[in-house]
Chains A and B, each alone.
Chain A
Amino acid sequence: MKKFFQIVAVCFSGCLILAGCNNGSNSSTVENSGPQRDTVIIKLMAFTPDTLTVNKGDTVVWINQDIVAHDVSHFPDRAWHSDTLNPQNVFVKVIDDSSSYFCSIHPTMRATVLLKK
């Protein structure tokens, strides 16, 4: 099980690196060529960035780099939510709508994903 997570983590960091390179080359060529991938870091009891603006259909990856477990839950009703993310675990979601979200384990942790207009 642990191995599975390690593999998942490695895959994701690979994807992230690719996504990073992609963004770099995109800026010099065509803009908005398909869905983008954005990252939110969970660290020191905060989601960073706390407001992320994306295009509809973009993928957001949350990475828990903190020292305790967190989750990512739609605010306020948890209409969608991740599992408990232990340190180093990730959550991936395709964004179709603007929404506020929070950590249901630490409800004072809040952030927002906004769709570009």
Chain B
Amino acid sequence: MKRMRKSMNWLAVTVALILFVPAAKAQSQNPLSDPEIASVAVTANQIDVDYGQLALKKSHNADIRKFAETMISDHKNIIQQAAALAQRLHVTPKTNAMTQSLLNGETTTMKTLKAKSGTAFDKAYAQNEAAYHEAVVGAVKTKLIPETQNAELKGLLQSVVPLLEHHTMMAKELASKF
């Protein structure tokens, strides 16, 4: 358990670094515009859909598959709402440094996950889900929400926070089983 926590911490730090170092850089330069925030939001959700789809392809564990299905369904739902809101507000999502750094993180993580199988995959997937959600919650709270101009977009991001927090708790509980 202790070793487990240690490796979880390590993972969280790694993900936080991947996410926040570029984010912090971007923040010090200039805040994100709403179209850029929309792009980050859609990308961050899509990445977790991708991880979930990989889990459904690779895992035979019932708990992992159920969790992955929930992630796919919840995050697709958010993408839909973000896309609908962006369209209504005439905001076209704009790729930016943070989107790119999220995608780079996904490439690295996908490579690691794809190299594993069986219980080793299940454990790595669950740990990554905990760390990824934790990092995204942090970014949404400390960067995306404060920098969003449009009230409705800000409102959508705020309403997503409890969902991400529950996903984090669920992932931690799941990871503790391995």
Contacts and interface: CB of A to CB of B under 8 A. Distances in A.
B147 interface: no
B77 interface: yes
Interface string B161-178: 011011101100100000
A84 to B, nearest CB: 9
B50 interface: no
Contacts, number: 33
For B163, B165, B166, B173, the residue with the greatest tally of chain A CB atoms inside 10 Å of its CB is B166
A106 interface: yes
A45 B162 CA distance: 6
A108 B78 contact: no
A45 B169 CA distance: 12
A7 interface: no
A68 B77 CA distance: 7
Nearest to A107: B170
Contacts of A69: 73-74, 77
Nearest to A103: B166
Contact of A108 (B74, B81, B160, B169): B169
Nearest to A44: B162
A46 interface: yes
A94 interface: no
Interface residues of A, number: 11
A101 to B, nearest CB: 16
B159 interface: yes
A108 B163 contact: no
Interface residues of B, number: 16
Contacts of A46: 162
A106 B170 contact: yes
B117 interface: no
B170 A67 contact: no
A106 B159 contact: no
Contacts of A105: 70
22 contacts: A45-B163, A45-B165, A67-B77, A67-B78, A67-B81, A67-B159, A67-B160, A67-B163, A68-B73, A68-B74, A68-B77, A69-B73, A69-B74, A69-B77, A105-B70, A106-B166, A106-B167, A107-B170, A107-B173, A108-B166, A108-B169, A108-B170
Interface of A: 44-46, 67-69, 105-109
10 closest pairs, A vs B, by CB?
A: A45-B162, A108-B169, A44-B162, A68-B74, A45-B166, A108-B166, A68-B77, A106-B166, A105-B70, A108-B170
